[in-house]
Amino acid sequence: ASTVERDAGGVVNVGGISVVDLAAEFGTPIYVVDETDFRERLAAFKSAFFDRFGQGSVYYAGKAFLCKAVARWVDESGVNLDVCTGGELAVALAVGMPGERLAFHGNNKSEVELAAALDAGVGRIVLDSFDEIGRLTVLARQHGVRPKVLIRTKVGVEAHTHEYIATAHEDQKFGLSLAEASMAADQIIAEGVLDLAGLHSHIGSQIFDTTAFEVAAKRVLGLHHRIAATNSVTLPELGLGGGFGMAYTTQDDPQSPERLADGLAKIVEHECAAYGIDVPHISVEPGRAICGPTTFTLYTAGTIKPVELDAGQLRCYVSVDGGMSDNMRTALYNASYSATLASRVSDAAPVLARIVGKHCESGDIVVRDEFLPGDVAPGDLLAVPGTGAYCRSMASNYNHVPRPAVIAVADGAARVIVRGETVDDLLRLDVG
């Protein structure tokens, strides 16, 4: 469980350390990771899924947030790791994660990346196109290896928060249609260079119910059955992707890993019984549900500007010392976050506030609508929770703003796990 709480004086604490002390030691903005919570979430997914689907059935999706410390936590937890670029692969290898426990995704892996995956002995390469099958086949011959591969399918299901659509065709770049995947599987089996372990599907992100997985599993298992039967082979595995939702607002109601695992087990068992096939080894790739809730961004409030809206109402624009460069999700997806005054309590009447950054555009919004105490003032610390997924990993240097440090806190100790950039770091890249 989260170790974030307010102390007797009303100051937000994490792992027993106050945000006032964190800001004094490390400055702001910073991402603050509750390491205990992160490790517990890894352990919870591991126990729920390993119990039902066997060893190795969970891959943490590194794209949500990855650095060497996180890769070590993943390694130590026994959970596997999903990487989707040579860069993410390098992080895993830098901490000595065994290649066998990695899955390599991506729709446009280069020859260099594929060769690096073969050199590392990556456990599963998830193939995304006929081009890639060709590329990997050549490389596997050259390297004298027979890598295990999955084929990423487009099952015609796209799921988002609270809703999904199932259509015959998905107009997007990932995966092969069921018809194409079927041909690809026959080709791989006939050539015998790559070891086809099974099929894969990933249907979206921030999903709260398992209905969409049910439609996806039905479609992908139909193909699984067809490939195995006509080629007289066993396909031992099925990847169901990630996308399990987390709570950004009080309306979001994520399922526990146990309920997710139970729900998926029922779906897969039911579909396999209908097709009369053995249940394959299921794996999932949660990213956001593990790292998202473990982290908050700590900012210092700067300029505060009341703006008059229609009907004389006021909106208080509270500028912080970061913005869309450390969290682009609000600008990019209209994502919902909340903010809280973290360095003190106040009984001032709440005012309608908008937390904005320091970048040169009006879409630079971190939290669109929030009520903050009316006496919020420059120098106050604001915490924005739920920023562990796709915030640091999608951070930019827009306006030459250095990317913030990531601080891990556990049991009363805080340490830097990703150093904050300096302007010198940025200038170092300029040549001439």
Q: Is 381 in the site for ligand LLP (CB under 6 A)?
A: no
Least distance from ligand LLP to the Cβ atom of residue 17, Å: 28
Question: Which residue type does 326 have?
Answer: D
The three-state (H, E, C) secondary structure of 13-42, written as one string: EECCEEHHHHHHHHCCCEEEEEHHHHHHHH
Q: How many residues bind ligand LLP (CB under 6 A)?
A: 20
Distances (CA, A) of 411 to 37, 97, 154, 182, 330: 11, 25, 44, 51, 32
In angstroms, the CA 403 to CA 2 distance is 25
Say whether 360 is catalytic: yes
8 Å CB contact between 199 and 181: yes
372 contacts: CB under 8 Å, gap ≥ 6: 316, 318, 339, 340, 341, 350, 351, 353, 382
Nearer to ligand LLP, 126 or 133 (CB): 126
Q: Is 257 in the site for ligand LLP (CB under 6 A)?
A: no
Q: Is 57 in the site for ligand LLP (CB under 6 A)?
A: no
Report the residue from 41, 329, 358, 359 that binds ligand LLP according to the rule CB under 6 A: 329
8 Å CB contact between 238 and 280: yes
**Which contacts (CB < 8 Å, 24+ apart) does range 127-135 have?**
127/151, 127/152, 127/184, 127/194, 128/152, 128/174, 128/175, 128/176, 129/176, 130/176, 130/180, 130/184, 133/184, 133/187, 133/188, 133/194, 135/109, 135/111
In angstroms, the CA 64 to CA 38 distance is 13
Report the residue from 52, 101, 105, 403 that binds ligand LLP according to the rule CB under 6 A: 105
Report the residue from 41, 124, 202, 392 that binds ligand LLP according to the rule CB under 6 A: 202
Q: Is 243 in the site for ligand LLP (CB under 6 A)?
A: yes
Least distance from ligand LLP to the Cβ atom of residue 201, Å: 9
Q: Is 62 in the site for ligand LLP (CB under 6 A)?
A: no
Per CB under 6 A, which region of 227-235, 270-278, 282-290, 341-349 contacts ligand LLP? 282-290
Site for ligand LLP in 125-184 (CB under 6 A): none
Per CB under 6 A, which region of 48-56, 71-79, 286-294, 297-305 contacts ligand LLP? 286-294
In angstroms, the CA 223 to CA 215 distance is 13
Question: Which residue type does 425 have?
Answer: D
Report the residue from 205, 294, 319, 343 that binds ligand LLP according to the rule CB under 6 A: 205
E strand map for 105-229? 124-127, 148-154, 157-160, 163-166, 176-177, 195-200
Per CB under 6 A, which region of 109-117, 239-247, 307-315, 378-386 contacts ligand LLP? 239-247
Per CB under 6 A, which region of 59-67, 208-216, 259-267, 356-364 contacts ligand LLP? 59-67
Q: Is 49 in the site for ligand LLP (CB under 6 A)?
A: no
Nearer to ligand LLP, 43 or 331 (CB): 331
Nearer to ligand LLP, 107 or 340 (CB): 107
Report the residue from 31, 73, 164, 244 that binds ligand LLP according to the rule CB under 6 A: 244
Assign 398 to helix, strand or coil. helix
Q: Is 28 in the site for ligand LLP (CB under 6 A)?
A: no
Kindly list the catalytic residues. 360
Residues that bind ligand LLP (CB under 6 A): 61, 63-64, 82, 105, 202, 205, 241-244, 285-289, 329, 333, 389-390
